[in-house]
Amino acid sequence: MKKNNTNYPLKAAVRNMIEDVPVCYSNWNISDVKKMLFEKIKKIGTINYIYVIAKDKKLVGVFSIKEVFRRKGTAKVDLIMQKDLVKVRPYTDQERVAILALKNNLKAIPVVAKDDKFLGVVPSDVILSILHSENVEDFLRMAGIRSSFLKISKGSSLYLARVRIPWLILGLLGGILAAKIMNYFETPLKDYFILTSFVPLMLYLASAVGTQTETLFIRNLALDNKFSFLKYLLREINVGFLIAAILGFLLALVSIFWFGSSAFLGFIMAISLFLTILTAVLIGVCIPFVLQKFKKDPAIGTGPFATILRDIMSLVIYFSVSIFLLKLVQIL
């Protein structure tokens, strides 16, 4: 039976907890456990593990149901039980519960109060559906849709349009900002139209690199216990440097030998792409990191907001670098 602990956040572990699980005291033996199982089985919701508590209801150990069949009736529970416990608090986020189960290969995770008092467990089928719904949500959020999947799959066209449009309006505003920027740089861009032609390429590559960076970062954040931000950032910058150098070099070659641009314009594009990609890497690491610091789900950052920020930054960098270098050469 699920208890509704409505004073906890919607995604707290305690909301997904069942209380009717096999529990025994540490001074029992296996015969006592068997008796308890036969008496209480009708009420028990999940049966993979037997949880061992002390007199003060503190959780002190756990053992597999298999032990009940495997051991003699006289075997003492406190000699059988595993004392090294994976446990969560009532307010632990449900995604964290699922990740813990996954990492430790467990079928259920016990929930304990601050004083270690045993409260219940989150069972495997609940963990499975938590993990699934969190992932589906992440996917939808990346696409700028903030609604539950069930509502969406059942909703009318009108409902679906309403759910999808808010982020698109934000995208519209981002696009308008981009148009303002391009308008502002109209004169040099008209004179060097080849620079304009490569605007989609700049935006596309910055966004592709940025998405890769964000995705990898969020996965690492969720799955790595010993996550070091600085170490990760350094590696990411290394990788970004390599990628930016290779793509910038290729772009210069293409623009010179295929589009017949001057070597100098090719150089401008290469430098711009290089800086744009490095910026995309920084944005891709920093936005999720900042969100996580403020206790927000970092997966939010991979939505359209990051895309717009990246696109605007890319345009500004591209045009500023271009104009700076063009002016520099005319001065010399």
Size of site (CB under 8 A) for a copy of itself: 99
Site for a copy of itself contains 113 (CB under 8 A): no
Considering only residues 181-240, where is the footprint of a copy of itself by CB under 8 A? 182-183, 186, 189-190, 193-194, 196-205, 208-209, 211-212, 214-216, 218-220, 223-224, 235, 238-239
Pick from 75, 86, 113, 160: which binds a copy of itself (CB under 8 A)? 160
Joined together, the tokens standing for residue 97 give 């519960």
Pick from 118, 167, 274, 319: which binds a copy of itself (CB under 8 A)? 167
Pick from 5, 19, 28, 65: which binds a copy of itself (CB under 8 A)? 65
Least distance in angstroms from the C-beta of 113 to a copy of itself: 26
Least distance in angstroms from the C-beta of 17 to a copy of itself: 17
Least distance in angstroms from the C-beta of 88 to a copy of itself: 16
Alpha-carbon distance values, 313 to 19, 130, 132, 195 (Å): 52, 36, 34, 16
Distance CA 111, CA 85 (A): 11
Least distance in angstroms from the C-beta of 76 to a copy of itself: 19
Distance CA 240, CA 208 (A): 12
Binding mask of the shown chain, residues 74 to 103, with x at each position contacting a copy of itself by CB under 8 A: ------------------------x--xx-
From the CB of residue 296, how many other CB atoms can be counted at a distance below 10 Å?
A: 12
Distance CA 152, CA 159 (A): 8
Q: Which residues pair with residue 59 across a beta bridge? A: 53
Least distance in angstroms from the C-beta of 176 to a copy of itself: 6
User: Dihedrals φ, ψ of 29, to 5°?
Assistant: -115, 180
Count of alpha carbons within 13 Å of 108, Cβ hemisphere only? Answer: 24
Tell me the Cα Rg of the chain.
28
Site for a copy of itself contains 270 (CB under 8 A): no
Considering only residues 3-62, where is the footprint of a copy of itself by CB under 8 A? 37-38, 41-42, 44, 47-48
Alpha-carbon distance values, 202 to 81, 139, 209, 258, 305 (Å): 59, 25, 11, 17, 18
Site for a copy of itself contains 289 (CB under 8 A): no
CB under 8 A: which stretch of 76-84, 253-261, 290-298, 323-331 binds a copy of itself?
Answer: 253-261
CB closer to a copy of itself out of 9 and 228: 228
Q: Which helix (H) or strand (E) holds 173?
A: helix 157-184
Site for a copy of itself contains 253 (CB under 8 A): no
What is the pairing mode between strands 23-25 and 118-123?
A: unpaired
Distance CA 170, CA 305 (A): 8
| Residue of 203, 183, 212 whose CA lies nearest to 309 | 203
CB closer to a copy of itself out of 60 and 87: 87
Site for a copy of itself contains 258 (CB under 8 A): yes
